[in-house]
Amino acid sequence: MGLSNAQISILILNYNGKKFNQACLESVLTQTYQHFEILFIDNASSDGSVEEVEQRFAKEIKS
């Protein structure tokens, strides 16, 4: 396996980032590299951002 096929992990750290998360995740999902996983890591948000991400991106992320 060469570097062009390497599996990478994209870590997204969140704390009350509801207004940024959709654009961030859509940007990651529209890039062309295919061998990746997205890990969404929340730091006890209280703005509903976790629920929104879970609802909109449940298939694409690991939380």
| Amino acid 29: pLDDT | 95
Task: Check whether 7 has a pLDDT greater than 80.
Answer: yes
**Residues of the domain holding 8:** 3-62
| Amino acid 12: pLDDT | 95
What's the total number of domains in the chain? 1
| Amino acid 56: pLDDT | 94
Task: Check whether 4 has a pLDDT greater than 80.
Answer: no
DSSP single-letter state for residue 55: H
Sheet of 8-14, strands arranged across: 8-14, 36-42, 61-62
Q: Which two tokens stand for residue 34?
A: 């295919």
16-59 pLDDT per residue, tens: 999 999 999 999 999 999 899 999 999 999 999 999 999 999 88
| Global confidence as pTM | 0.82
Sequence-distant (6+) residues with CB within 8 A of 7 are 35, 36, 37
